[in-house]
Chain A
Amino acid sequence: MSSRVYGCLSLIGERITENSDFLTDLDRQIGDADHGANMARGFAAVVGKVPGDDPDIGAALKKTGMTLLSTVGGASGPLYGTAYMEAAKVLAGSETLSAQGFVDALTAAVAGIQKRGKSVRGEKTMLDALIPALEASTAAVAGGGSLSDALDSACAAAEEGVAYTRTIAATKGRASYLGERSIGHQDPGATSAAITLEAIRDYIRG
């Protein structure tokens, strides 16, 4: 029997792979047409390297982060790699995920991306999906919501964040070379972040 965390990582990998061409096309508009291919290559390595039977969520996320660092290749490698490794520190030794645990892990992941990318909200990056998702899930859990409620709120906010990236110009990453010309296009990294949260939500719903 494979562990829950392995099952969840596998579903994230499946969704990323299904959307690989879509993500690469988004990156073709405002970047270098590799985001989907980068992420799919990374998750193909993740499902091969993370042990399927270890229930320790932290250990699995740490291995995921290290694997993404060395297989993704683009900016999303060190960014998502750092995010998973920071989340791993919060969940080290945990075998189940609570609503608060999810919020704490997402808090650490977002802080890791901000540090790695020297970036903030509003620069047309994955943070424009993840920061609203963090705020919405934090509010849901503060109001007594379950893990499933936290993920519902996170996904809805991430989706809005992705739409918002179409309305702003990029000031970080490759897309920033386009400046104002990046307006009208949706950010690939924000899109893969929303896809990731949806995969976690769907896995937890069962």
Chain B
Amino acid sequence: MVGIVIVSHSRKIAEGVKDLAMQVASASGRIVAAGGMADGEIGTDAVMISEAIRSADGGDGVVVLADLGSGIMSAETAMELLEDDKIDVRLADAPVVEGAVAAAVEAACGSPIENVIRAAEEARSARKLD
């Protein structure tokens, strides 16, 4: 199964999005939250994110969803820190909540990483009101 890492400035947001995604996808341990700083403060931590990516990878790759500003920069830094690990890790251009839920559903079906990232990115244009 493709792993999913949720990056947010807030630990609570990342944990909450993970819970939401686990519920709809009844997924196993491949969804990992990497929110806030090690001490619980608001912020992003590239080293923590790189460790989350490593633990989310089961060999089928990892899709990362990140919130604004330094969320993206720290996620990209984390991916560079892992260059020697040979993990197929990709950053989704997607909203965190909707993207994570869509990606989790797809990943739980056993789809390859291309499909999982596409599902996350399609969530960007999904309308909520008719």
Contacts and interface: CB of A to CB of B under 8 A. Distances in A.
Interface of A: 38, 66, 69-75, 77-79, 81-82, 116-117, 173-174
B48 A117 contact: no
Nearest to B70: A75
Given A77-B46, A81-B46, A69 B74 contact: yes
7 contacts: A69-B77, A70-B46, A73-B43, A73-B45, A78-B73, A81-B77, A117-B73
A78 B69 CA distance: 11
Contacts of A174: 69
Closest 3 CB pairs of A and B: A73-B43, A70-B47, A78-B73
Contact of B74 (A38, A78, A173): A78
B44 interface: yes
Nearest to B45: A70
A94 to B, nearest CB: 23
A74 B77 contact: no
Contacts of A117: 73
Contacts of A116: 73, 76-77
B10 to A, nearest CB: 11
Contacts, number: 55
Contacts of B73: 75, 78-79, 116-117
A172 B38 CA distance: 27
Interface in B39-92: 41-48, 69-70, 73-74, 76-77, 81
Interface residues of B, number: 18
B31 to A, nearest CB: 22
Contacts of A78: 44, 46, 70, 73-74, 76-77
A38 to B, nearest CB: 7
Nearest to B41: A73
| SS of A interface (majority) | helix
B108 interface: no
A74 B70 contact: yes
Given A81-B46, A174-B69, A71 B77 contact: no
Nearest to A173: B69
Given A69-B77, A74-B70, 11 more contacts: A66-B47, A71-B45, A72-B43, A73-B9, A73-B44, A74-B69, A75-B70, A77-B74, A78-B44, A82-B77, A116-B73
B37 interface: yes
Interface in B73-122: 73-74, 76-77, 81
A157 B41 CA distance: 35
A69 B47 CA distance: 7
Contacts of A70: 37-38, 45-48
Nearest to A116: B73
A57 B62 CA distance: 35
A56 B69 CA distance: 33
Contacts of A38: 43
B68 to A, nearest CB: 9
Contacts of A72: 43
